[in-house]
A and B are shown apart, each in its own frame.
Chain A
Amino acid sequence: MSSTNKHIRRVLPLIGLIVLAKYIYILHYLCGLNWTISLTDGSFSAAMLMLAIWGCILIIYAYPTKVGLSLYALLIASAFSLLTVFTEMQVLRWWLSDEPHYTEWFDNALAARFMITWLVCAWLATYTALRRKVVTLEKRLQQQAGASALLRDAELFKLRQQLQPHFLYNSLNSISALIMIQPEQAQEMIGRLSDFLRSSVKREAQDSIAVAEELLYIESYLAIESVRFGDRLSVQFDKEYTDDAKIPPFLLQPVLENAIKFGLYGNTGRVNISIHIVLKEGTLYITIINPYDPQSSPPKGTGFGLEGIKRRLELLYARTDLLETLKDEENFTTIIKIPQAHV
């Protein structure tokens, strides 16, 4: 807005001068009025017209409208033209009352005067209104471009997270060990790892999926982690939701991964992670509680997981209050809210 305003502000004196010259030309040469009248009327009318235009522009910028912007601009321009011509009529008649014939001429030319004022006002007001619209649109386009770039980043990050080498390599190493000591379990683990990888690849394109499906995916992930970390990891699920509740895919896995990392890398004892999912008043609340040690620093890369989720939720639902984290001495709680109506 300010750039347009500046732009107009720079052009306005120029328009004023042109209008002044035009007025004087018309009054003196075309209408045959003498110099005193032409100069007085011309300058005053030009000044009034500039004031009117300035007023129109200010109002168009200052007050947003629910009517179409161009119609609004025209209405304002008309109002200002009427006001301007009325003021001119009062002032000029009083000022030049001793000039013979002027009053009579003024009355005759009133309609033309109004038309000119109105045309100029309307043109500039509409122009301003349209420019304003263009600027807003450009801004929105830029925002959208930014948003989609962010989304792409998130997708890329997700992909990297799914196929995160650490997780994969460590799992393969565990499988390798199982083959030597418990071959049947090795097979089971390969199955789980395949489930996990398959759903990672499959669901990439979907906007939202059923919670149940996401949970299946999470469960295969957790099953692998339980095998890797033995009896140190235990996860409790507590579900109260209807089956048609939906959530954006891959939202939970980074959180759980954080929870596991926090828990297992900050702790040497047993790690209990509890997941509570409830559907309340059209919002799905997912609460994940994991133990953490405030003393030990978080493992690498944990911040980005949550930051990424926050940004994704912001992009999807245009709300900033959907991710909450709480810390106390022992537990780290992550609460994610998914509005159901929008999914």
Chain B
Amino acid sequence: MYKAILIDDEPLARQLVRAFLKDYEQVSVLAECSDGFEGFKAIQDHKPDLIFLDIQMPKLNGFEMLELLDEPPAVIFTTAFDEYALKAFEAHAIDYLLKPITKERFDKAMQKWLAQAAANQQPKVEALLQNNIYDGYQHRIVVKDNGLIRIIPEQDIHYIEANDDYIKIVTKNGSYLKKSTLSHVEQSLDPQQFVRVHRSYLVPVGQLLRIEPYEKESHVALLQCGAKVTVSKSGMAKLKTLLGW
């Protein structure tokens, strides 16, 4: 028996998937959730094998929710997104259903997933999340903090530091660790606002107080919060073009 969870903010959309799933006796729906928070909690409680996930949802969108999961289950996205935006999904062998969802297309996605599940090979969503799927930039970062979900607005961020497999997000309310890479965060944030000044540092332009020469070919930036971060040669070049020095 496979366990499934439906996450969509529209009740009718959930009912449709539930109705389609009646043909699959080997799948039982354990929970229905109407936003990313609920979804996150339900996934941790039930450890489902498969989730049907809408992307645009209140509080926490589908991608943000997935980012927070340590071991994301198999996902079939259900979305009204434009088709071109979903090219990235195909590249990672993750299935999606475009709304309005037809039974035919639904069955196809289910066959594909059942075959994968039987062979015990699940496509990994992490790789998908590394791409910036949104056409547009995020203005916040979502992190897990002692089991709680915390949404950090971009204006609260002092700087972001690379830390092995993690990134350390230093904010006015303290710092948070998130399993991600600096390149991924850099891609998702507005490049006019955040500059990768160094291999290990991503800094909001508004935080820069002044920049002083440090060693040969490198500088150090003093931030408004009082912290000092190293600026590499290429980081300096980026700052110069961005700020028009």
Query: Could you tell me the distance between the alpha carbons of A264 and B140 in the complex, rounded to whole angstroms?
Result: 19
Q: How large is the interface on B (under 10, 10 to 19, 20 to 34, 35 or more residues)?
A: 20 to 34
Residue from the list B80, B140, B153 in contact with A170, Cβ < 8 A: B80
A300 within 8 A of B: yes
Q: Which residue on chain A has the smallest CB distance to residue B153?
A: A297
Instruction: Say yes or no: A165 contacts B80, CB within 8 Å.
Output: yes
Within 8 Å CB of A297, what residues of B? Answer: 138-140, 153
- What distance in Å separates the Cβ of A127 from its nearest Cβ neighbour in chain B? 44
Instruction: Say yes or no: B99 contacts A180, CB within 8 Å.
Output: no
Instruction: Say yes or no: B34 contacts A268, CB within 8 Å.
Output: yes
> When A169-B99, A229-B9 are in contact, do A176 and B56 touch as well, CB less than 8 Å?
no
> When A173-B16, A178-B12 are in contact, do A296 and B100 touch as well, CB less than 8 Å?
no
Mask, A244-281, CB within 8 Å of B = 1, is 00000000000000000000111110000000000000
Main secondary structure of the interface of B (DSSP, over half): loop
Residue from the list B12, B102, B136 in contact with A177, Cβ < 8 A: B12
Query: Could you tell me the distance between the alpha carbons of A90 and B98 in the complex, rounded to whole angstroms?
Result: 93
Mask, B198-215, CB within 8 Å of A = 1, is 000000000000000000
Instruction: Say yes or no: A264 contacts B9, CB within 8 Å.
Output: yes
Count A interface residues, CB 8 Å.
27
Query: Could you tell me the distance between the alpha carbons of A165 and B37 in the complex, rounded to whole angstroms?
Result: 26
> When A170-B10, A170-B99, A295-B151 are in contact, do A265 and B15 touch as well, CB less than 8 Å?
no
Query: Could you tell me the distance between the alpha carbons of A175 and B59 in the complex, rounded to whole angstroms?
Result: 25
Instruction: Say yes or no: A174 contacts B151, CB within 8 Å.
Output: no
8 Å CB interface, B35-78 against A = 35, 37-38, 56-59
Q: Which residue on chain B has the smallest CB distance to residue A230?
A: B11
Instruction: Say yes or no: B19 contacts A170, CB within 8 Å.
Output: no
B129 within 8 A of A: no
Query: Could you tell me the distance between the alpha carbons of A227 and B12 in the complex, rounded to whole angstroms?
Result: 8
Q: Which residue on chain A has the smallest CB distance to residue B11?
A: A230
Main secondary structure of the interface of A (DSSP, over half): helix
> When A170-B99, A173-B100, A229-B10 are in contact, do A180 and B82 touch as well, CB less than 8 Å?
no
Instruction: Say yes or no: B35 contacts A268, CB within 8 Å.
Output: yes
Instruction: Say yes or no: B59 contacts A172, CB within 8 Å.
Output: no
Within 8 Å CB of A175, what residues of B? Answer: 100
Task: Name the residue among B19, B59, B98, B100 with the largest chain A CB count within 10 angstroms.
Answer: B100
A192 within 8 A of B: no
Task: Name the residue among B37, B38, B80, B102 with the largest chain A CB count within 10 angstroms.
Answer: B80
Within 8 Å CB of B99, what residues of A? Answer: 169-170, 172-173
Instruction: Say yes or no: B10 contacts A228, CB within 8 Å.
Output: yes
Within 8 Å CB of A177, what residues of B? Answer: 12-13, 15-16, 19
Residue from the list A181, A228, A265 in contact with B56, Cβ < 8 A: A265
Within 8 Å CB of A165, what residues of B? Answer: 80, 82
Within 8 Å CB of A173, what residues of B? Answer: 10, 12-13, 16, 80, 99-101
8 Å CB interface, A141-182 against B = 165-166, 169-170, 172-178, 180-181
Within 8 Å CB of A268, what residues of B? Answer: 34-35, 37-38, 58-59
Instruction: Say yes or no: B13 contacts A174, CB within 8 Å.
Output: yes
Instruction: Say yes or no: A265 contacts B58, CB within 8 Å.
Output: yes
Within 8 Å CB of B19, what residues of A? Answer: 177, 180-181
Instruction: Say yes or no: B13 contacts A180, CB within 8 Å.
Output: no
Within 8 Å CB of B16, what residues of A? Answer: 173, 176-177, 180
Query: Could you tell me the distance between the alpha carbons of A297 and B38 in the complex, rounded to whole angstroms?
Result: 19
A183 within 8 A of B: no
Within 8 Å CB of B57, what residues of A? Answer: 265
Query: Could you tell me the distance between the alpha carbons of A264 and B56 in the complex, rounded to whole angstroms?
Result: 11
Q: Which residue on chain A has the smallest CB distance to residue B99?
A: A173
Within 8 Å CB of A169, what residues of B? Answer: 80, 98-100
Task: Name the residue among A170, A228, A300 with the largest chain B CB count within 10 angstroms.
Answer: A170
A282 within 8 A of B: no
Query: Could you tell me the distance between the alpha carbons of A177 and B12 in the complex, rounded to whole angstroms?
Result: 6
A299 within 8 A of B: yes
- What distance in Å separates the Cβ of B151 from its nearest Cβ neighbour in chain A? 7
Q: List 30 A-B contacts (CB under 8 A).
A: A165-B80, A165-B82, A166-B56, A169-B100, A170-B80, A170-B99, A172-B99, A172-B100, A173-B12, A173-B16, A173-B100, A174-B10, A176-B101, A177-B12, A177-B15, A177-B16, A177-B19, A180-B15, A180-B16, A181-B15, A228-B10, A230-B10, A264-B9, A264-B58, A265-B57, A267-B58, A268-B37, A268-B38, A296-B151, A297-B139
Known: A176-B102, A267-B58. 5 other contacts (CB 8 A): A169-B99, A173-B99, A175-B100, A181-B19, A230-B11
5 closest A-B pairs by CB: A177-B16, A173-B99, A169-B80, A172-B100, A177-B12
